Amino acid sequence: MQTSRTAEVTPLAQRRGTPQGHPTRIYPYDAPRTLAADLWQIKGSLKMAAIPRNMTIYRLPDRKLVIYSVIAMHEDGMRALEALGTPAILIMPHDRHQMDAPFYKQRYPNLRVLAPEPAKPRSIPIDGDLTELSAFGIRAYPLPGTSYHEAILELPIDGGVALCTCELLGNLSPPPSGALGLVFKVLGPPGGGFGVSRAVRWREVVARQATRAWLVGLSGRRDIRVITVGHGAPVTEHIQAALTRAAAGA
């Protein structure tokens, strides 16, 4: 498998934009937050709305990085990422979470890009499907019962696995304030907090029984130590109860 080397990184100041000819907009982001050994999350946001978005980073034993739901950053942020290891594998996590993928592919030309259904057109070419991750002990599969090609990763960490998700599950707690908060009260998970938002369920779930069965199965497991989501805080406590509640609202 080909991976990028530091010498092949294109400095941000020299970028001429995405392959479509439009410069990548850099939105606010935080420093990497450690969730477990070899597992980090970067919290970002979109200027158009006070909705957090997350990038998950997982380091393999050879210090190559698997990056999921990528967030474009200024040079300081990219150097902080590179200090963790060498970006080697980009996971296209969801059809609606790919706007910054061209930024990463331009900076790291040898980045290998994986996704469910690789033949489906996306913002950058896909090199292979999720089954390649099994070589690293990572279980990866499309989210059952949904239509937006959400990629689920089960990342080995000390004492179990980290469940890496993107759009179906969210955890906006507390919710945004003002008018946006009212929107989330109506369209977010029933009762707020961690769960399946009504908007995502209506838009993306096409086989509700399959999605619910997946969540019920997860709720019975004892090896899940953390759940990362695309929007909101990671879940690190009372995980079985959280998944049981999410299944009821799916």
- pTM value is 0.87
pLDDT, tens digit, for every residue of 106-163?
999 999 999 999 999 999 999 999 999 999 999 999 999 999 999 999 999 999 999 9
Mean pLDDT along residues 171-190: 72
Domain ranges of the chain: 6-249
Q: What are phi and psi of 127, to 5 degrees?
A: -90, -25
Predicted pLDDT at 23: 67
Query: Is the Cβ–Cβ distance between 54 and 70 less than 8 Å?
Result: no
| CA–CA distances in Å: residue 80 to residues 3, 73, 74, 167 | 18, 10, 10, 26
Q: What's the pLDDT band for 49 if we cut at 50, 70, 90?
A: low
CATH class label, 6-249? alpha beta
CA distance 202 to 129: 27
* Closest of 165, 166, 145 to residue 212, by C-alpha: 145
Model pLDDT for residues 186-212, shown as the tens digit of each residue: 677 777 789 998 888 999 999 999 999
CA distance 67 to 138: 13
How do residues 3-40 score in pLDDT, each as one tens digit?
332 223 333 333 333 444 446 889 999 999 999 999 99
- Residue matched to tokens 């979109």: 46
- CB of 81 closer than 8 Å to CB of 4: no
